[in-house]
Structure 1
Amino acid sequence: MNALLANETENILQDAAGVLEQDQEQKFRITNLEQATWAMRKLRALSAKEDDIKKVAQAELSRIQGWMEAEIRDIDSSRQFFIGILEAYHRGLFQNDPKVKTIKTPYGRLKLTKQQLELQRNETAIKDWAKDNKPDVLIPQEPKLDWSGLKKQLKINDDKAIDPATGEVIPGITVINREPKFTVEVDV
C-alpha cells in the first residue's frame, strides 16, 4: 500500500467517528462532487486495507493448509498400512471359516460384506439391441426448452412477451420491470 493510501487508511476511523457523531445530531449527506470524491477516496482506502488484510491472511492460510496436508498425508499412509494388515488378517480367517464375516474389537469392527454384481455397460450397444428386442425398456425423452434461444426471439411489450413472427402472447412468461441496480466501483 502506498504512503498516501496508508495515511488515508489511518484517518478513516477518525473521520468515520466524526461522521457518526455528526450523524446523531443531523443526517450526513453528500451534497456535492467534492464530498462524493472524499467519500470515494475513503472507500478506496478501505478497499486497500481490506486487500492487505486478505493477502496476509491468505499467506497464513496457505502455510497452514500446506502443513495440514502434509500431516494428513502421513496419517493416511499409516491408516492405509493398518487397514491393509487388518484386511489380510480378516480375509485369512474368512478363507478358513466363511462364517467369520465380522470381527469385533474394543475399538471397532472388521466386516466383510458381500457386494452386488457390478455391470459395466455400453449404452449405445444396449440401446441398439433394445430397439429390436425390448423396446419397452427405452424411455422416450421429453423435449427441453432452449431458453436463451427463445429469449433472443422475444419482443417485450409492456408486461407481455410476444412472438414477433405471429404477434401471439407467449404463455408462461411474466415480465417484471426491475429498479436500476446501484453499485459502487472503487478504483484501486
Structure 2
Amino acid sequence: MPSSGELKNSIYVSSEEELNLDLGTGGGDSKVSNLDEAARYAYGLAETRKSISELQAVADKEVAKWQEKIADVRNWLENELQPLKAKEDYLASQLQMFHINQFKSAKNDSERKRLTSIKLPYGVTLKSRAQADKFEVVDEHTYKKFAKENGLLKTPEEPEINWSGFKKKLVVSEEGQVLNKETGECLDFIKVVPQERKFEVK
C-alpha cells in the first residue's frame, strides 16, 4: 500500500500533468468526468493555491523589509534637510526684503519696471509681479439676492439615483414584467436581462 507521501506525489503529479495539458490546448474541453478525477483536480488546485500563497508571503515579506528601509532613508533625508531648508528660507527672505526695498526706493516707473526682475549670480533671480485685486463678500444675503436676480446662480447637478436601493424594490412577474414589489406598479422603463447561471470554484 503506498504511503501518504507517495499518494500525495502521485495525485499531485497526475493532476499537474493534466492541468498542463489543458493549458497547452486552451482548456476548452473538460477532462473531469467523475468524482475521482474531480478530487485529483481539486487537490491540484489546492496545492497550486498554496504555492501562490507561499510565493505571495515571501514577496510581501521582502516588500515590507524594503519599505522599512525606504522609510528609514526618508527619515534620514528629512532630518538632514531640516536645517538646510531653514537656511534656504532665511537666505531667500533676505533677498526678498532686498528686492522689496529696491523696488520701493525706485524714483520713477521706468526704474521700477527695470527692477521687476533682478538676475543674480549662481542661477538666482528675484521676480515681482502685480497681483489682481481680490473681492470679498461683505453682505451674504444681498450677494445671493443679486446673483439670483441676474441669473448668476449655478445650475444644480442632477442627483444620482441610488441604484442598489432601487433594485431592492424590484420584482419580476411571471410574464417578465418589472414591478415595484411594494406597490405592484409596473415599471415599463426597466427591462429584465436574463443572466446565465454562474459557476465558481472556491
TM range (shorter): 0.5 to 0.7
1:126-155 per-position Cα deviation (integer Å, ceiling 9, x unaligned): 5xx469744626657545433333222222
What is the letter of the counterpart of residue 70 of structure 2? M
Note the 1:102-121 alignment, pairs <5 A: 105=122
* C-alpha distance 95-21 of structure 1, shift in aligned 2 (>3 A): closer
Report if aligned partners of 2:169, 2:180 keep a CA contact under 8 Å in 1. Answer: yes
Determine the structure 2 residue equivalent to 1:50: 52
Name the CA distance, whole Å, in 1 between partners of 2:81 and 2:171: 63
Residue equivalent to 1:16: 16
Specify whether residues 18 and 143 from structure 1 end up closer, same or farther in structure 2 by C-alpha distance, changes over 3 A only: closer
Aligned-partner Cα distance in 2 for 1:49–1:12: 13
User: Within the alignment, does 1:83 sit opposite 2:85 as a pair?
Assistant: yes
The number of residues matched between the two structures is: 171
Give the equivalent residue in structure 2 for 1:184.
201
> Which of structures 1 and 2 has the bigger CA Rg?
2
1:150 maps onto 2:141 in alignment: no
Q: Which residue of 1 aligns with 2:185?
A: 167
- Does structure 1 retain, via aligned residues, the 8 Å contact 2:12–2:40? no
Unaligned runs of 5+ in 1: none
Q: Unpaired segments of 5 or more residues in structure 2?
A: 101-115
TM-score (norm 1): 0.65
Relative to 1, partners in 2 of residues 1:70 and 1:159: Cα closer, same or farther, differing over 3 Å?
farther
TM-score, normalised by the number of residues in structure 2: 0.61
Q: Distance in 1 between matches of 2:9 and 2:127?
A: 64
Q: What is the aligned-residue identity percentage?
A: 15
